[in-house]
């Protein structure tokens, strides 16, 4: 059966990773969350007190990141590729609001993007891959077999993220989350290097009023049609 490359881009907190994960499991493809790579770099910067350099010495900031290693290891139990920063599993830490608050700034640095894109393109695509992010269909895999663009109203997204964090036992405020989402949308869409854009050949899904199952159904139809052709 033909193995596809599926690019899922879209706004922050649109459920890209849940959808990507489910699709990857259904078809036996590899799932890579590219945002987690930018988040891992940001976590490293926070832990090593490098954030100040973001404002006054980007060159030194980049220099300090030279030796970090980022890779994915497949976890047989939850069927996802988990991210390791310098051989430490950081899946949980990268989801914090502190990381979310700085990640778009880090992700806007061209030198960092160049390295991440290199790693993303190194993934073996022979068994099929679903990758989600902001520039997957436009920069990383411009020839992807299927390009999706997920969006939803910012208040719906903030609500979902708020509930998810509260359910995970985190103490957060709805307003902080909404502000973070708005700020990231703006930064991600307006940066000069690889901004978030809707590719001409992308299928746009506004999931403000859609369940995950409805989205999966629509995406499965696209994939099955592509495989049959
Ligand atoms: O998907 P996410 O929200 O975890 O991504 C975190 C940040 O990383 C997001 O605000 C923008 C950035 N990002 C990016 O610039 N390019 C990607 N391919 C993925 C994420």
pLDDT tens column, 44-92: 999 999 999 988 899 999 999 988 999 999 999 988 899 999 999 999 9
Say how many Å lie between the CA of residue 133 and the centre of ligand 1: 5
**In this predicted structure, what is the pLDDT of residue 83?**
97
- pLDDT of 33 over the 90 cut: yes
Q: How far is 20 from 109, CA to CA, in rounded Å?
A: 26
Mean predicted confidence (pLDDT) in 209-219: 97
Smallest CA-to-CA distance from 35 within 67, 13, 19, 59 is with 13
Cα distances from 228 to residues 2, 4, 178, 203, 225, in angstroms, run 8, 11, 41, 18, 5
User: Going by CA atoms, what residue is nearest to atom 13 of ligand 1?
Assistant: 35
Query: For 86-141, how does the pLDDT look when each residue is reduced to its tens digit (9 = 90+)?
Result: 999 999 999 998 999 999 999 999 999 999 999 999 998 999 999 999 999 999 99
The pTM for the full model equals 0.94
In whole angstroms, give the CA distance from residue 221 to residue 77: 28
Orientation of helix 174-190 relative to helix 154-167, angle to 10°: 130
- pLDDT at site 158: 97
Atom of ligand 1 nearest to the CA of 103: 7
CA of 117 to the centre of ligand 1 (A): 12
Q: Three-class SS of residue 33?
A: strand
pLDDT greater at residue 213 or residue 171:
213
The share of the chain scoring above pLDDT 70, in percent, equals 100
Q: Residue 1 and residue 123: Cα distance in Å, rounded?
A: 20
Task: Transcribe 110-145 into DSSP letters.
Answer: HHHHHHHHHHHHTS--TT-EEEEESSIIIII-TT-S
Index of the ligand 1 atom closest to the CA of residue 39: 6
Which of 41, 93, 134, 138 has the most ligand 1 atoms within 8 A of CB, as the residue to mutate?
A: 134
The CATH number for 5-228, chosen from 3.30.450.20, 3.20.20.60, 3.40.50.300, 3.40.50.10210, is 3.40.50.300
Taking the domains of the chain in order of start, what are their residue ranges?
A: 5-228
Backbone angles phi, psi at 222, to 5 degrees: -60, -45
Q: What per-residue confidence (pLDDT) applies to 221?
A: 98
Determine the residue of 38, 98, 182 to mutate for testing ligand 1's pocket, defined as the one with the most ligand atoms within 8 A of the Cβ atom.
38
How much is the pLDDT for 141? Answer: 98
Residues 137 and 202: beta-carbon distance below 8 Å: yes
Residue 202 has pLDDT above 90, yes or no: yes
| Residue 2 DSSP class | P
| CB atoms closer than 10 angstroms to residue 115 | 17
C-alpha to C-alpha distance for 176 and 101, rounded to whole angstroms: 10
Residue with CA at minimum distance from ligand 1 atom 6: 35
CA angle 43, 166, 96 (to 5 degrees): 5
Burial class of 228 by CB neighbour count within 10 A (0 to 12, 13 to 18, 19+): exposed
Is the pLDDT at 1 greater than 90, yes or no?
no
Q: What is the pLDDT of residue 119?
A: 94
- What is the CA(92)–ligand 1 centre distance, in A? 16
């Amino acid at each position: 059966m033909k193995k596809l490359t599926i690019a899922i881009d879209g706004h922050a907190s649109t459920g890209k990773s849940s959808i990507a994960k489910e699709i990857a499991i259904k078809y036996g493809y590899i799932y890579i969350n590219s945002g987690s790579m930018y988040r891992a770099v940001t976590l490293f910067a926070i832990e090593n007190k490098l954030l100040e350099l973001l404002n006054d010495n980007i060159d030194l900031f980049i220099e300090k990141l030279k030796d970090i290693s980022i890779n994915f290891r497949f976890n047989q139990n939850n069927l996802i590729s988990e991210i390791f920063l310098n051989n430490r599993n950081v899946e949980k830490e990268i989801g914090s609001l502190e990381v979310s608050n700085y990640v778009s700034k880090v992700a806007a640095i061209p030198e960092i993007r160049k390295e991440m894109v290199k790693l993303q393109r190194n993934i073996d695509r022979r068994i099929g891959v679903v990758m989600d992010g902001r520039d997957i269909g436009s920069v990383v895999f411009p020839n992807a077999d299927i390009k999706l663009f997920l969006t939803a109203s910012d208040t719906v997204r903030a609500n979902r993220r708020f509930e998810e964090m509260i359910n995970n036992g985190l103490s957060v405020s709805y307003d902080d989350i909404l502000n973070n989402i708005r700020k990231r949308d703006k930064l991600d869409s307006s940066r000069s290097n690889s901004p978030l854009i809707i590719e001409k050949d992308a299928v746009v899904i506004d999931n403000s009023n859609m369940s995950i199952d409805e989205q999966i159904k629509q995406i499965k139809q696209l994939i099955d049609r592509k495989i049959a052709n």
